Chains A and B, each alone.
Chain A
């Protein structure tokens, strides 16, 4: 039996209260606020790359280790992307594809290590001005993860 009803939408009532901001101002302020935390958030991304680097060892990756890499890569994907670090975000997404629990393809650290090293490179000044090289790097990573998932 399906029960249907209309609960009160408190958000709808609050949003119509007098005062507030225009949509144009809301957008300007939101983007300005976001820019104010850019450096601290990208420093956090560097720390997460470091955490993943520290996990790599000679022993085959344990399931829990791959789960940790997946979680960190997922966070980097979202956080780098929020600051328009598009290639870094795409590289992190490729690492998510590689280490996703849906994908049993990865058995060794090597493809993971290549992804992490590339993400470190994408954060370095060496590639800051070279979009073509950054995109080529990401395309290579996506081939690796696609091969491992096949």
Chain B
């Protein structure tokens, strides 16, 4: 058993992390708790109702949210949007893994707009969940706040502004490269910009 791309001897310490789990199913919660206890996590808030989760968010700091938004009568997607816009520090900026079983087409756009850091499809496995937790601990994406979205930047790769637009951000550069405004650099000038490195064979 291994975690992709990582040494199995690498250590993690999640004993002090507080995790809020929201899932309508008691057995769904139990599966997540058992897996994550194996990772060394100890402090869980188990919630089967959105109202319970909101009460915890208002009262306790949470370091990681794992939410299945599929509820019978309440809307877990709305809970996530509420959380991101709540202004309750540090919880409103905490990493969120959205886990879902069968994906309704109508919920795909909702999921994208919740502000979750990552979307995982059930059934969950220990390996997949551990990979995502480690990934979140290394996630360096900035948060963005817009009228219609609050959460981590949804652009995983900076590949320029969306097609057909000039971009919405100050640092969005146009894809078209303009004409040179200065003469080409000489080879001597280019060499001067490079830092010599000793080759290791």
Chain B residues near A97 (CB-CB < 8 A): 102
Question: Bound state CA distance, A75 and B40, in angstroms?
Answer: 26
Question: Bound state CA distance, A22 and B2, in angstroms?
Answer: 11
Which of B50-58, B88-96, B180-188, B192-200 is the interface stretch? B88-96
Contacts known (A20-B40, A82-B123); A9 close to B169, Cβ less than 8 A: no
B27 near A77 (CB under 8 angstroms)?
Answer: no
Interface bracket on A: 35 or more
A20 near B153 (CB under 8 angstroms)?
Answer: no
A19 near B34 (CB under 8 angstroms)?
Answer: no
B173 close to chain A: CB less than 8 A: no
B residues at A contact (CB < 8 Å): 1-3, 6-17, 24-28, 30-31, 34-40, 61, 63-64, 70, 72, 90, 93-95, 101-102, 104-106, 122-127, 129-130, 133-134, 136-140, 142-146, 153, 168-169
Q: Can you spell out 30 A-B residue pairs with CB atoms less than 8 angstroms apart?
A: A2-B144, A3-B144, A4-B143, A4-B169, A5-B142, A5-B145, A9-B136, A10-B17, A10-B63, A11-B17, A14-B16, A16-B13, A20-B11, A22-B8, A23-B7, A23-B9, A26-B130, A30-B34, A30-B37, A31-B38, A33-B37, A33-B38, A34-B31, A36-B34, A37-B30, A37-B31, A37-B34, A71-B70, A81-B123, A96-B101
